[in-house]
Structure 1
Amino acid sequence: MEISKLAVPLVYALIGFLAYSSQWLLPSLEPRTITRRELLEFNALLICLLITYTRSVFVDPGHIPPQSEKEIGEEGNPDNSARSSPPQRKWCRKCNAPKPPRAHHCRECKRCIPKMDHHCPWTQNCVSQPTFPHFLRFLFYAVASMLYLTSLLWPHISHLWTNRNLPSYLGPTMPQLAHLFLLTVGNSLTLFALSILLIRNIWALVVNTTTIEGWEIERHDTLVRRARYFGGVLEAPNGTQVRIRKQEFPYDVGFWRNCKEGMGTGNILAWFNPLSSTPKLPTPLTYPTNDFESPALTWPPPDPDRLHRYSQPDNDKPTLLEANLSASETLAAFQKRQADDIRRRKPFVQRIEEQQRRVASILEEDEDAFGSDAEEEYVANKGRDENEGEEAWRNSEGERLRDFGVDEDVEFYDEEDDLPLSELLARRKARASGHGEQVSDGQW
């Protein structure tokens, strides 16, 4: 059995230990017992906690609804105060379906998740557009329950400290002291961790970002800072120069609308109701955007490390006519050339290993040429910029996208050129009929 499968039972066990063993222990300790009102209030919070956690675990994180560019073009914005997000430009090869804006392919759930925030290891479920309200309520009631437990524990801890010089036989037994110590430490550490997580998710709700989009914003800011040193451009893997400019996050549409979208309703009382219904996904899957950027721009912004490296033609090889191939051989060669036309950038680990082998072979062949420490350091650091590709880049907290459950192979290497012919024909037909929204490809 995988250790990760034990996460949910362990969380239930922790809730049971902190919540119910404390109700058994505290009445036997001085200076006072728990009142009936305190028991009712505490257990009411626990019921809300158990309901919201269970829903965070078992509510489906959602599927990408069937959609087409024609439908997206016809989709209206309900209140005209902000534009709807532009049509998706990516195609998920693993799902064999379009990937709408803000969706990501989860390597644990094995599918694209709408408005994916992250895959939570403690719920073994994705925090997404349908599950985010349940997850936020779970954090709220967990913090509220532990704060209430702290208020129940504190009088007993204070009493023990005040009377610490009295004979031990006048106080609690050693098992009771050990139990109280474990309750205090476990409750304090868990309260600290979940309080930070709750504040972080409330901020994400207010500004309408996900954890993954926060990573993308920080990555984009890093690219903008780097580009300033090179005249506003950065070099892509294929050697082309990509212009990088500051691009504002498009989905922050104001405090109130952000909260309504994140919680699935404008009813504030429903935000705290543990039995509130799960938000339904719209079809097609679009999101209102602000007016800070052109509608032709998509999120995330252009990143040089997401571009493909185009193979260079080999002029030494004979052309098809010079090779005097048969018709079938000509067709096979043509198909092979089409397949080889785009060579995707190797994953980060493969690039690192290849660079290390190349550096080792150079040092082995010509040790004299790299005798000094400075020259050896130069060789070791050569190509470092290439090895800082997006899939290797970490934010200020040391996190990569895979730490949020994202399938990096899909995220980095599935772009517009992966669209199947049927999808391209459908989009062309939609544009010809005047329903599809024109999206410029000039941002690359």
Structure 2
Amino acid sequence: MDLIQRLDSRDADFASQLSRLLAFEAEQDESIDRAAADILADVRRRGNAALIEYTNRFDRMTAASIDDLEIPRADWHAALAALPTAQRNALEAAAERVRIYHERQRSETWTYTEADGTMLGQQITPLDRVGLYVPGGKAAYPSSVLMNAIPAKVAGVAELIMVTPTPDGTRNPIVLAAAAIAGVDRVFAVGGAQAVGALAYGTETLAAVDKIVGPGNAYVAAAKRRVFGTVGIDMIAGPSEILIICDGKTPADWIAMDLFSQAEHDELAQSILLCPDAGFLEDVRAAIERLLPTMPRADILRVSLANRGALILVRDLQEACDIANHIAPEHLEISTEAPEVWAARIRHAGAIFMGRFSSEALGDYCAGPNHVLPTSRTARFSSPLGVYDFQKRSSLIQVSQAGAQTLGRIAAELAYGEGLQAHAASAEFRLDKP
């Protein structure tokens, strides 16, 4: 098995080679989907009882009531206080940067008034209640708490309910600490499809939410698909991706490690480098070979790079941008001189990291922009998670008497053309009588 594939954009079959490299079918395991559907239906029917039963079964808990599953606020703050100073400082610094960035995204209500006194506009309101799913057990994702909770709170969401599984009763202190910092309102030690069902449908204790955000395993993803429409969801994310455009002047070790930073997520993650310098591509390949054995997740890296990674020789940086727009990656690093020149040519990417010092890892944790990004080429039509995902827009229409004369005649004419007489009459009733 090759360490990593080598492609050349000059090859006659390059387009088909690239298509095969990018191909990813999110196989939906029927047994997982059926299990999620059954759990959702049971939670919807039996509420707290079903939630407790599944939590005890799957997470090896001994909860007797829903109260046993709610983690008190005092415990979050105790977890925060117990963090090592350096870790707490890093978490708080990251939270502040994420908050400052997202405050710039907040939309405000606006109106304008026409000459005849008709007022039109848009009213912005936050969602009432949001559910945040956070993986638990051995996995610790405090950054996920910050990236999902802070935009919701900046948007003005009144109640943010976090659910996180605690297998064998093991709570993740840094996740609880992040909840305290991010402004979460309630935390429950539940996970899986049963947690999604409780958030979507509500129970005797949990009020149903308006939207569910946050990553989870295959059962969580299947459940989120099924409850979409009853509630909103953020997205169904695919494997993590990084695409790097490099001019060949960045240290090869830096680029190799940036490729590793996504490949280490799992075997399906994708790491691709585009460069017009064949010698540099060989330098990166050599750096990968040298550095790979030093990595704790080397086995995952090896499979990911061999199956879904690539070093691609391109004609020039313009062609690299064209290929990047086709790939529409989750993360795009532009590691070149004058990166803003090439960034201006990018139309499709979840996040664009400009310059040699802008490693993708900084975006994952503390740069400020959200790390919840569109994957699997959905950046062609989707955007990063943000404050706007937790706000709604309502149109404002206040027609003056004078405006009703003009608009009424236009509306009636169009309504008659559509054969909707009641629509026409509704507008005409407000016309001044001769």
TM-score, normalisation: structure 2: 0.21
Greater RCO (CA < 8 Å, at least 6 residues apart): 1
